[in-house]
Structure 1
Amino acid sequence: MPRFVAQSRRAKVLLGGRLRLEAVAVKNFRGYTDEQEVLIGDLTTIVGRNDVGKSTILEALAIFFGSEVVKADAGDVNVDSDAQEFEVTCTFSELPEKIVLDAQAETSLKDEFLLTETGRLRVRKRWTCSGAKPKEEVFVVCHHPVDDDLNDLLLLGNAALKTRLGKHLEPADSAEVNKASNPAMRKALWASEAELVLEERDVPVSKEDSKRIWERLAPLLPHFALFQSDRSSRDSDSEVQDPMKLAITAALAENDVQQALAGVVSIVRERATELATRTHAALEELDPELADGLVASFKNDPRWSSLFGVTLEGRNGIPINKRGSGVRRLVLVSFFKAEAQRQIEEGSKRSVIYAIEEPETSQHPRNQKILLESFQEMAQSEGCQVLLTTHSPGLAGHLPTESLRFVARNEDGTPQVRPANEDTWDRIAQELGVLPDDRVRALVCVEGPNDVAGLKALSGALCDGGESLIDLRTDNRFAFVLLGGGTLHQWVSERYLKGFGRPEFHLYDNDVSSYQKAVDQVNSRSDGSSARLTTRRELENYLHPDAITSALGVTVSFGPTDDVPALVSAAMKADPNLKPVKAQTAKRYLAERVFPTMTHSLLIEAGGADEVRNWMQALQQMAK
């Protein structure tokens, strides 16, 4: 059954920047022995057979980020290892320009030598499992000074830094240093060495005086939420019984709510302790011996989540928690999406990572398509990353190939994570059963998914207007190949169709001069392939301004050579009633919301019908 895992928000010490997870590495963790690193993008999908180690990666991240459900356990140590510890290491980019490590003195991760040689923040957590309970240690893996007396400055307090300063600097130079600022003293000490030697090392940041470093870094980490599936041992979890309890959990995690509840607890604690003290005084008068040794003690803080309840009910009054598991999963994913949107709209300084295990479970193919589109939309939102696991050929086949990470066992039985490239695509397709479609008669090669949506909509507009042309929205004789990054299914089709001599129709935007050379190369073939440039800047220039106004609520005017997505982005940013979006997001809005509203009459009025008709006629000829 699914389970939502969320970290509570911490006090903000971020001064610009929103951490983005770039990679996670596991070592000696469960089935993984040697360190295995998985590169993480905006959308990352870990694919492979059952029980090969896909979910292990997500659960390693959950442990790293402090999940309340997936806890470090002595059984997590690899059984074939002689070691009694395991590690999870995360690498982050998009770092803050400034950070406060000591009191209120600003510094930076770079100035404190807390970055890797490539300028990333790499945090390693190590759990030693020799005792009854795993013991956690935290390190920053960084390009750090190794010189004697200069390799431990981050571990020293103010007094120790002053002593070290007196040892290394002349009195006149030491007098120039601000001794109220630990960063200033560290900087002066490091500068005192003419040839400072830097090497990669693990700087401990979770014990003794170095604890303050982790206390300041931890609140910068992304908000992590894990959605697990099919865990029979957790059927009694409240989140399984009613997914909307997640809304209560999220509300209680808000800073302002936490502060308000802390105030309530303080008042109740004070009043209750006062009453208990009076009771004790009265008891002492009645029976001093019985009262002797009794102390008023406030045992536990309240569990606020148990005091509230909320549910979703259909029009027939049936609560959502009484519906099937597939419906509950849809509600959970909807919660993910709504929460991501809320954080983005409220300008949260923390990024958010949603990890979803086997989202296709118990879902109708139609719902799988809806979920897939939702995940891709979430991943395109600023400050949001989505991680998936799947062994479904239907899901994996329609994901961008660059988002796939393939887990397979080596000859010795240990799992290994491989990136999706030409060396692994064939094997992914074979293991998952992703097959080409032999109905395809021609390949339509365009630059990206927005062009696919646009071309399908324009062909549909001509057909809906009564013209006897192909309808790319429904005609399975044509397969789209995205030259700017395709899906696994398209890649398989492309490879398969090349061997059967399928002709290719290439359509490129007119905004890149080098495309003409590619067009000439395709047109020089003798296999029936054809290529051309749009006469206008790009496909968005074939839209009618009225369609944009109707779908997006902004008015723009443009000519054949104008950058339409940029104009739409500027118009949306200028309207206080609309959410501002970047040009790339505006391009996606045009593809998803505007192109489908184009009618036959609008296409004719916009002046692009003849050219689009010519494209469809060329494709129609290829299909024969």
Structure 2
Amino acid sequence: MGRAIECSVRVAPFLSALLVSRVDRSQANEQLGEIEENAHLARQDVHARVYGPVLDEVAAALSAEVGKFTTGREVVVTPTVQAPRLARTAFRVSIRDGAARTSVHRQGHGFQRALIIAALTYLADRRRPADGMRTLCLAVEEPELFQHPPQARTFAKVLRELVSASPQGRTQVMYPTHNPVFIDPKGYHQIRRFCRAAGDGHPVTEVWQAVEEDLCTALDGMVSQKVIRSRTEGTLSGALADGFFAHAVVLVEGRGRDQRH
């Protein structure tokens, strides 16, 4: 069963969901269930002892009155004990700053994002066994917001490690970004560029992507597949991240020519 988490300024629900996914509550739930069952039986005993004699008297009186109009029937009145819902343990995260203790949502956005980074790092470092771990999908809205440059780089690194360290692809991370720090040239096949297509009709959004097979097909006859597969990563690692946000890209042949012009 999967769990989707949206990382926004509402950091408290995210941390609660993280704790729920990390803390095994089965043993506690089993013991709490036994307590509730024993309490339910005790309530039934109290109702029977306290209400039983009174209700028996009421039932006998009603049966006598009904017996004047019909035969072979009697009225039975018993107390009904509603079983309470099983108590589930929730987790609350607060921040202690000196003598003050406040909730997470009262902290600044920068601190909240830093706390998310810490929580995701913890999640990446302490994985459950593959067989016992649910699929985790993280949707992060512009992860660069409210981040100092070093924090943004750390955040980008943590998000990538969450996916790379995930067994059998059980962790997925999706985020829209306007910051080249969050563009990983090595994983260019995982990047999607959304562009608004020009036209007189209704606006249409086009989605662009590239995979190694497409590059080999497009450059067939000009560059060998062996060269493409061996040099793509090094070639793209330079300016690809910035190029994703450019309105136009000029391709030149060689660095010397680039410097002269």
Q: Give the TM bin, normalised by the shorter chain.
A: 0.5 to 0.7
Partner of 2:191: 404
Contact kept? 2:140, 2:175, Cα under 8 Å: yes
Asked if 1:388 is matched to 2:167, the reply is no
Asked if 1:279 is matched to 2:50, the reply is yes
Pairing partner for 1:256 from 27, 36, 57: 27
Query: Aligned with 1:355: secondary structure?
Result: strand
Q: In the TM superposition, what is the alpha-carbon distance from 1:273 to its structure 2 partner? A: 3.4
For residues 190-269 of structure 1, what are the structure 2 equivalents within 5 Å?
A: 221=1, 223-229=2-8, 240=11, 244-246=15-17, 248-250=19-21, 254-269=25-40
Asked if 1:326 is matched to 2:77, the reply is no
The one-letter code of the counterpart of 2:87 is P
Could you list the runs of 5+ residues in structure 1 that have no partner in the other structure? 1-220, 231-238, 425-446, 449-480, 504-526, 528-621
CA distance in 2, matches of 1:391, 1:490: 12
CA distance in 2, matches of 1:402, 1:247: 29
Q: Indicate the RMSD between aligned Cα atoms, in angstroms.
A: 4.2
Partner of 2:252: 499
Q: Relative to 1, partners in 2 of residues 1:382 and 1:484: Cα closer, same or farther, differing over 3 Å?
A: farther
More helix by share: 2
Asked if 1:413 is matched to 2:199, the reply is no
Query: Aligned with 2:189: secondary structure?
Result: helix
CA distance in 2, matches of 1:333, 1:278: 57
Q: In the TM superposition, what is the alpha-carbon distance from 1:485 to its structure 2 partner? A: 6.4
The one-letter code of the counterpart of 2:177 is H
Partner of 2:119: 335
Contact kept? 2:193, 2:244, Cα under 8 Å: no
Contact kept? 2:12, 2:93, Cα under 8 Å: no
Query: Aligned with 2:96: secondary structure?
Result: coil
Contact kept? 2:94, 2:101, Cα under 8 Å: no
Pairing partner for 1:302 from 84, 87, 104: 87
CA distance in 1, matches of 2:34, 2:23: 14
CA offsets per residue over residues 67-125 of structure 1, 9 Å max, x none?
xxxxxxxxxxxxxxxxxxxxxxxxxxxxxxxxxxxxxxxxxxxxxxxxxxxxxxxxxxx
CA distance in 1, matches of 2:136, 2:208: 21
Q: Relative to 1, partners in 2 of residues 1:374 and 1:315: Cα closer, same or farther, differing over 3 Å?
A: farther
The one-letter code of the counterpart of 2:171 is Q
The one-letter code of the counterpart of 2:8 is S
The one-letter code of the counterpart of 2:241 is H
Q: Relative to 1, partners in 2 of residues 1:323 and 1:492: Cα closer, same or farther, differing over 3 Å?
A: closer
More strand by share: 1
Q: Relative to 1, partners in 2 of residues 1:287 and 1:314: Cα closer, same or farther, differing over 3 Å?
A: same
Query: Aligned with 1:401: secondary structure?
Result: helix
Q: Relative to 1, partners in 2 of residues 1:240 and 1:335: Cα closer, same or farther, differing over 3 Å?
A: closer
Q: Number of paired residues? A: 218
Could you list the runs of 5+ residues in structure 2 that have no partner in the other structure? 63-75, 215-229
Query: Aligned with 2:192: secondary structure?
Result: strand
Contact kept? 1:244, 1:311, Cα under 8 Å: no
CA offsets per residue over residues 543-562 of structure 1, 9 Å max, x none?
xxxxxxxxxxxxxxxxxxxx
Q: In the TM superposition, what is the alpha-carbon distance from 1:382 to its structure 2 partner? A: 3.3
Higher relative contact order (CA 8 A, sep 6+): 2
Contact kept? 1:398, 1:489, Cα under 8 Å: yes
Contact kept? 2:144, 2:177, Cα under 8 Å: no
CA distance in 2, matches of 1:364, 1:279: 67
Q: In the TM superposition, what is the alpha-carbon distance from 1:392 to its structure 2 partner? A: 1.2
The one-letter code of the counterpart of 1:370 is T
CA distance in 1, matches of 2:164, 2:237: 16
The one-letter code of the counterpart of 2:165 is S
Q: In the TM superposition, what is the alpha-carbon distance from 1:339 to its structure 2 partner? A: 2.9
Query: Aligned with 1:304: secondary structure?
Result: coil
For residues 443-454 of structure 1, what are the structure 2 equivalents within 5 Å?
A: none
Query: Aligned with 1:313: secondary structure?
Result: strand
CA distance in 2, matches of 1:403, 1:331: 26
CA distance in 1, matches of 2:190, 2:81: 58
CA distance in 2, matches of 1:293, 1:329: 57
CA offsets per residue over residues 336-357 of structure 1, 9 Å max, x none?
332343334x454435323122
CA offsets per residue over residues 223-263 of structure 1, 9 Å max, x none?
32312426xxxxxxxx6457654455336664334333333
Contact kept? 1:405, 1:418, Cα under 8 Å: yes
Q: Relative to 1, partners in 2 of residues 1:261 and 1:386: Cα closer, same or farther, differing over 3 Å?
A: same
Contact kept? 2:136, 2:172, Cα under 8 Å: yes
Q: In the TM superposition, what is the alpha-carbon distance from 1:499 to its structure 2 partner? A: 1.7
CA distance in 1, matches of 2:41, 2:235: 64
Query: Aligned with 1:362: secondary structure?
Result: coil
Q: In the TM superposition, what is the alpha-carbon distance from 1:269 to its structure 2 partner? A: 2.9
Query: Aligned with 1:390: secondary structure?
Result: coil
CA distance in 1, matches of 2:45, 2:20: 31
The one-letter code of the counterpart of 2:146 is S
Partner of 2:139: 356
TM-score, structure 1 length as denominator? 0.29
CA offsets per residue over residues 154-192 of structure 1, 9 Å max, x none?
xxxxxxxxxxxxxxxxxxxxxxxxxxxxxxxxxxxxxxx
The one-letter code of the counterpart of 1:407 is F
Q: Relative to 1, partners in 2 of residues 1:242 and 1:347: Cα closer, same or farther, differing over 3 Å?
A: closer
% identical equivalent positions: 13
Q: Relative to 1, partners in 2 of residues 1:310 and 1:240: Cα closer, same or farther, differing over 3 Å?
A: closer
